[in-house]
């Protein structure tokens, strides 16, 4: 919940020239009220537009919610689903994540499905159990997993001062990929893009992205500064 529409436009206008030659896909996922203005500002650029949530119904008595069709009208291509803050503060469950994901896929949007464990779960050795359930229940019924982006965000590493080492992140994302291979198929698991979302920033992006299992980053605070975000985009230079 950052940036008014005017602030969002200023940020993407600053970002556009910095990432124009990016060798990776660049997406900004903005608050709903910023989408129309930011969509216009991004025209002609290599930056795709994403939203931070989507409802699972096409329409109806769901006051305060936004449907996939409403997002598509403004050129939205991606949508974050099941972010840890949605799970922690707004009662998101694996079941609702699954329903939102299917709604996004049906509308032709690319879901960025978030998974991750709490500090207590990590310290009690339940990381793999938690992630396995989130993947099996959250991605249930998917025909082609390559149409989905998975973001691993250890909740214990977000805003707590604790950080996952590159090795820890790589090992856990490797487990996620292994689980995807079991649930779907090995070739599908190789194709699926799995990002790391545990406070990747301009200082640690190179080390994290050097890990073989990490395919990208779901960037939080560092995305609010165009210069910092561009450093992450150009991590390999």
DSSP string across 64-124 = T---HHHHHTTT--EEEES-HHHHHHH---HHHHHHHHHHHHHTT-EEEEEE---HHHHHT
Phi, psi of 159 (to 5 degrees): 65, 20
Burial class (CB in 10 A: 0-12, 13-18, 19+), 49: buried
> Annotated catalytic residue: which of 92, 117, 121, 153?
153
Q: What are 206's two structure tokens?
A: 């190179």
Q: What are 165's two structure tokens?
A: 């080492």
**Quick one: which of 16, 74, 15, 21 has its CA closest to 45?**
16
Angle between helices 5-19 and 226-233 (to 10 degrees): 40
- Say whether 217 sits in a helix, a strand or coil: strand
83 belongs to the catalytic site: yes
Question: Which segments of 125-185 does DSSP mark as H helices, in order?
Answer: 127-138, 166-183
> Annotated catalytic residue: which of 83, 92, 117, 121?
83
Spatial separation of the C-alpha atoms in residues 154 and 162, rounded to whole Å: 10
Residue pair 106/57 in contact by the 8 Å Cβ criterion: no
Q: What are 41's two structure tokens?
A: 């500002």
Active site residues: 83, 153
């Amino acid at each position: 919940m950052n940036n008014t529409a005017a602030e969002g436009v200023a940020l993407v206008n600053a970002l556009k020239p910095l990432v124009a030659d990016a060798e990776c896909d660049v997406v900004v996922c903005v608050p709903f009220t910023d989408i129309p203005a930011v969509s216009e500002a991004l025209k002609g650029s290599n930056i795709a537009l994403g939203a931070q949530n989507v409802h699972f119904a096409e329409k109806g008595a769901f006051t305060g919610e936004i449907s996939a069709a409403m997002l598509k009208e403004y050129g939205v291509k991606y949508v974050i689903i099941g972010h840890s803050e949605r799970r922690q503060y707004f009662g998101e469950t694996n079941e609702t994540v699954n329903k939102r994901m299917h709604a996004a896929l049906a509308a032709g949007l690319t879901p960025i499905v978030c998974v991750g464990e709490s500090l207590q779960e990590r310290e009690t050795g339940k990381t793999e159990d938690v992630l396995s359930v989130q993947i099996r229940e959250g991605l249930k019924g998917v025909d082609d997993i390559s149409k989905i982006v998975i973001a691993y965000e250890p909740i214990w590493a977000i805003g707590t001062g604790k950080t996952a080492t590159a090795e820890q992140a790589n090992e856990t994302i490797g487990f996620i990929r292994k689980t995807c291979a079991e649930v779907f198929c090995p070739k599908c698991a190789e194709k699926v893009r799995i990002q790391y979302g545990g406070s990747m920033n301009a200082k640690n992006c190179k080390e994290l992205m050097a890990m073989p299992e990490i395919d990208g980053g779901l960037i939080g605070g560092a995305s609010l500064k165009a210069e910092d975000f561009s450093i992450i985009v150009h991590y390999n230079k």
